[in-house]
Amino acid sequence: MRFGQTLICFITIFSAVGYQRLYASATERAPLDRPNFVLIFIDDMGYGDIGPFGSTQNHTPHLDQMARQGRKLTSFYVASPVCTPSRAALMTGCYPQRIGLQRGSGHIVLFPGDHHGLHPNEVTVAETLRSAGYATGCFGKWHLGDQKPFLPTSQGFDAYLGIPYSNDMWPSLKRFQCPELPILKGDKVVDTVKDMDAQASLCKRFTNAAIDFIRQNKAEPFFVYLPHAFVHAPRQASADFMQNADTVEEAQVEEVDWSVGQILETLRQEGLSDNTLVIFTSDNGPAGGLSAGPLRGRKGSAYEGGHREPTIAWWPGTIPAATRSDEIITALDIHPTLAKLAGTSVPKDRTIDGHVNTGVLLGHPDARSPYKHFFYQQGGKLAAVRAGDWKLFRNGELYNLRSDLGETNNVAANHADIVQQLQQLFIEFANDIQDNSRPVGIFENSRTLTPRRGIDGEDAFIPTLKLPLRN
């Protein structure tokens, strides 16, 4: 199928949803000897923002302990340096270009009422695990489409409580005319984020919902996806964290650390820690006052700071304690790897870019990454490729990441042969995407989930990007 966008009418979308429900319609839960999974996905946290990855500003005792008891993954990559495409890759195991979500319909990410979203025919990690008998819950920021067929409960999750897109997409966003920021339970709006105090409550609200789900489903295998709104702007943390921090960024990081501690303690209390894999990572590099540590680049960049994320894997008794790996592992691997651990597999009828990467993740002796190369994007376009220690940008910059992690010394002039070899990978990737891509989801007559302030009737629900920008 040629790369591009295919219009999906209303009936087609809901037919596809029906297909997915059939795919994930297991009536019996998996045996209890299958592991549980908890995936904690932070928003805009940089490589240098937590103690295990070198932060001296932010106090992160729970993450420090998680690293001592688990495994640091120092070369964990996301597929994009911004929210929507990064999350699309995480859910599907596919580069965002392959599924038409390398950008939103009118912006680099999806906005309220966008008619684009994750195609209902895509199979998410939640659908794969639910089909294997897992209870599945999502608590936090989704950002893969806010129309009903695109929401988590239409994409494999039994339960959902969260915001459908970034927490800065609300009336205070100066350039855009955004509606009230909704909080959804399932596919229904149950509340709105009205002020900064409500922003501050999101971390605890989502954490508590995840804990409730774990306790309610402890008798059966479960998958908990906890994509926090923190540490994304507009930044505000709970008062008990704000009062002890020098900056709001510090307060937010430390509240996220608290959240991790609450999740791990719940697993211990419920006797689940020895049978639960917990993965902590971030969706892209840092923004604002957050830190990429030794890496060059930040959110939105194809330099390492935009794609390489602080990642810890924890599974007492299975993952060896206090270990680390610099082997490449990526968000693309989450879907096929969790499927493998659950005793199932990803769909065989489509291209999946991620790998089963259990050896690196779990710390098997002498484990090596299956990656021969990994592709970076910037601005929704292919921007760079890594093969071994070498990283080539489309603009011709070449770096050796083993000797130059900070990407400060462009050595392209001294390695014309390497440049030529890696340039060929760009061509092969583009051809593969052209020949093996799938359409983005499109929902006709989309509308925002909540109205804009002070506007009556349907005009209050016009998709944000169909309105003019503010001066």
Show which residues are catalytic. 83, 143
Strand partners of residue 282: 42
Task: Please compute Rg for the chain using Cα positions.
Answer: 21
What's the token pair of residue 256? Answer: 């996220």
Q: Is the bond leading into 234 cis (omega within 30 degrees of zero)?
A: yes
Neighbours of 424 (CB within 10 A): 11
Where residue 113 falls (left for φ over 0; alpha for ψ -120 to 50; beta otherwise) is: left
Distance CA 93, CA 344 (A): 15
Q: Which residue has the tokens 């304690």?
A: 321
Alpha carbon 434 to its chain centroid, in Å, reads 24
Sign of CA dihedral 164, 333, 46, 224: positive
* Residue 211 CB contacts under 8 Å (≥ 6 apart), including other chains: 262, 263, 266
Residues 6+ apart with CB under 8 A from 200: 236, 237, 238, 239, 242
Tokens 């936090």, located at residue: 140
DSSP readout, 288-307? TT---TT-S--TT-SSHHHH
Q: How far is CA 429 from CA 2, 84, 171, 240, in A?
A: 14, 21, 40, 49
Residue 115, both tokens: 């008619």
The CA-atom distances, in angstroms, between 139 and each of 70, 189, 192, 281, 378 are: 24, 14, 15, 15, 28
